[in-house]
Structure 1
Amino acid sequence: MSSHVSDKPDTDFDSLLPPLTLDRRGFLVTSLAGGFAVAAGAVQAQTAIQTPTQGLVAGEVKIPVRDGDLPAYRAAPEGKRNAPVVLVIQEIFGVHEYIKDVCRRLAHLGYYAVAPEMFARQGDPSQIKDIPTLQREIVSKVSDEQVMADLDAVVAWAGQQGGDAKRLGITGFCWGGRITWLYAAHNPNLKAGVAWYGRLVGDTDPLHPAHPVDVAARLHAPVLGLYGGQDAGIPVTSINTMKDALGKGSPAAQASSFLLYKDAPHAFHADYRPSYRKAEAEAGWQRMQEWFAKSLR
């Protein structure tokens, strides 16, 4: 697969970008970190999955956005053009080895997978030692407006690089699960989303004016929610509230669905952490494949 820009997609993605107000200080993070994020805790080496790059074009790329170049990880089938594009949205820990590996897994399934570092302007999440500091110093400062605009730019770039941006999917984990729901309400060209245990309700603020429950009725693409019944931070009551909102919404909203793994905790797919549950993670991954196959193949 060529890495040069060619054959721009028919859709004018730049016209979809909302007006965006950003400071011009530039990017604090210009390249991706290696290994795993410190705040995520000790890596469970015996379960952490390591997917090879054979048969793939895989590695770090720089994606032009409105105020600079956004670092990202890209993995795609080698020699294959027009593979469906899947955005992979990080946890609060940034684009570290786990997220990169998810991209490689998707690429081996035939997708053009891209994981942009959504916190690049705010700082490097990989080296912060604890979750409260990470939340306070970086995550809380990342606006939803910024994220939506960056993802639109990533989609346009992927289409220019040989991916098929008309067959567009998104999946995200934890923080990225919430973003998956929001992006499904933002981009009318999205075909499918899979949200892994993303927060659905919560308090709002100027940088985060809405949560998934607030935009549920106007989804452009159906979303599959994969959640754990033992997730202390996402109670089942919030899932039921989201289901009610989806049921009153657009056709895509009504076509959305939840799978609740009753014995699974939060982050049950994160194979490098103690929260990993192999059976539920593999079952969810299979259901994600089936969900994408319906709309992206």
Structure 2
Amino acid sequence: MSTSEARWTRREVLAVAGATAAGYALAAGPAKASAIQTSSDGLVAGDVRIPVDDGYVSAYRALPEGSQRPPVVLVIHEIFGVHEYIRDVCRRLAQQGYFAIAPDLFQRQGDVSKLESVREIIDQVVNQVPDQQVLSDLDATLDWVRAQHAHPERAYSLGFCWGGRIVWLYAGHRPALTGGAAFYGRLEGEKSDLKPLYPIGLASGRLAPVVGLYGGADKGIPLESVYSMRKQLAEAGQTSEILIFPTAPHGFHADYRASYRELPAREAWRRTLEWYERFWRERPRH
């Protein structure tokens, strides 16, 4: 147990227990009482199973009741998995008319929800997940959603932290995607057999349009890296853009955590929805 964990108060310990019961990952720490809670009224929402090559992966999906050919959003979770925050994001999107689905991209490597620290999650699960497995699971999820009578062409991605990096990778893997939104996803890093590519290596290639949403006070993602990505995208003539919220820290959209910043979170969400609409309106029709 770390020093900071040892100093938790009784109230914080009880808050963590309550958060876990409500569906928040244990390692995320005490959930804020003011965390956004989106109703499922008027929605079809719940867990489903997605067929993949070696069996299935679990997913949470939400869509408007009675919707006809709704546009799709693949919601790509942070290191804490498909916990309540990600589920709520799916419901928020569904309330806007989207078929939002969040597959459990860590399922084969382990259940992160009960691990007690971020270090355990990274060492035991995140660092064991191959990028190729993730991209394949997202392909399978998109195929499954389209078979549920979702819109056959209008599909987007949305990811946070670990999932933000994947949004960029998926935009290169599937450039015909209508668009994507990457919240504070790492752009550079040490390559490995499991992670052979980082987003900055995609800047000059064929890429679905992504809006990157980054905090100027993010201590985990250097601004130099963000500026470098922005510059390379511009030089390559990409439609992708990067927005920087000067005072926002890492995790500024995570309303259940102390890192949440309401104003940049709201503005980033508005920009995300505008981005989705823009690239559907501008998409060439055949």
The alignment's TM-score, normalised by the length of structure 2, stands at 0.89
Q: Closer, same or farther in 2 for the Cα pair 1:86/1:165, shift >3 Å? A: farther
2:57 is paired with a residue whose SS is strand
* One-letter code aligned to 2:277: A
* One-letter code aligned to 2:29: G
Instruction: State whether residues 168 and 189 of structure 1, in contact with CA within 8 Å, keep that contact through their aligned partners in structure 2.
Output: no
The structure 2 residue matched to 1:36, chosen from 24, 28, 34, is 24
Matched, 1:133 2:117: no
1:230 is paired with a residue whose SS is coil
Report how many residues are paired.
Answer: 261
Matched, 1:236 2:223: yes
Identify the residue that residue 267 of structure 1 maps to in structure 2.
Answer: 251
Separation (CA, whole Å) in 2 of partners of 1:86 and 1:170: 5
Matched, 1:121 2:120: no
Q: Closer, same or farther in 2 for the Cα pair 1:50/1:102, shift >3 Å? A: same
1:166 is paired with a residue whose SS is coil
Identify the residue that residue 63 of structure 2 maps to in structure 1.
Answer: 76
The structure 2 residue matched to 1:96, chosen from 80, 83, 90, is 83
**1:143-182 to 2 correspondence within 5 Å?**
143-182=130-169
Runs of 5+ unmatched residues, structure 2: 1-20, 282-286
Separation (CA, whole Å) in 1 of partners of 2:88 and 2:80: 14
Instruction: State whether residues 170 and 192 of structure 1, in contact with CA within 8 Å, keep that contact through their aligned partners in structure 2.
Output: yes
Mean alpha-carbon deviation: is it higher for 238-247 or for 106-115?
238-247
Identify the residue that residue 295 of structure 1 maps to in structure 2.
Answer: 279
Separation (CA, whole Å) in 2 of partners of 1:225 and 1:100: 21
Separation (CA, whole Å) in 2 of partners of 1:111 and 1:218: 29
* One-letter code aligned to 1:40: A
Separation (CA, whole Å) in 1 of partners of 2:43 and 2:205: 36
2:179 is paired with a residue whose SS is strand
Offset of residue 34 of structure 1: 5.8
Separation (CA, whole Å) in 2 of partners of 1:195 and 1:274: 20
The structure 2 residue matched to 1:245, chosen from 210, 226, 232, is 232
Separation (CA, whole Å) in 2 of partners of 1:42 and 1:234: 24
RCO higher in structure (CA 8 A, sep ≥6) = 1
Runs of 5+ unmatched residues, structure 1: 1-32
Mean alpha-carbon deviation: is it higher for 210-219 or for 227-236?
210-219
Separation (CA, whole Å) in 1 of partners of 2:27 and 2:280: 35
Identify the residue that residue 21 of structure 1 maps to in structure 2.
Answer: none
Identify the residue that residue 222 of structure 1 maps to in structure 2.
Answer: 209
Separation (CA, whole Å) in 2 of partners of 1:218 and 1:155: 23
For the aligned residue pairs, the C-alpha RMSD in angstroms reads: 1.2
Matched, 1:112 2:96: no
Separation (CA, whole Å) in 1 of partners of 2:134 and 2:152: 18
Separation (CA, whole Å) in 2 of partners of 1:188 and 1:243: 18
CA shift digits 1:126-180 (9 cap, x unpaired)? 0000011110000000010000000000000000012113101001000000000
Mean alpha-carbon deviation: is it higher for 34-43 or for 135-144?
34-43
The alignment's TM-score, normalised by the length of structure 1, stands at 0.86
Identify the residue that residue 276 of structure 1 maps to in structure 2.
Answer: 260
Name the % identity: 52
| Structure with greater helix share of residues | 2
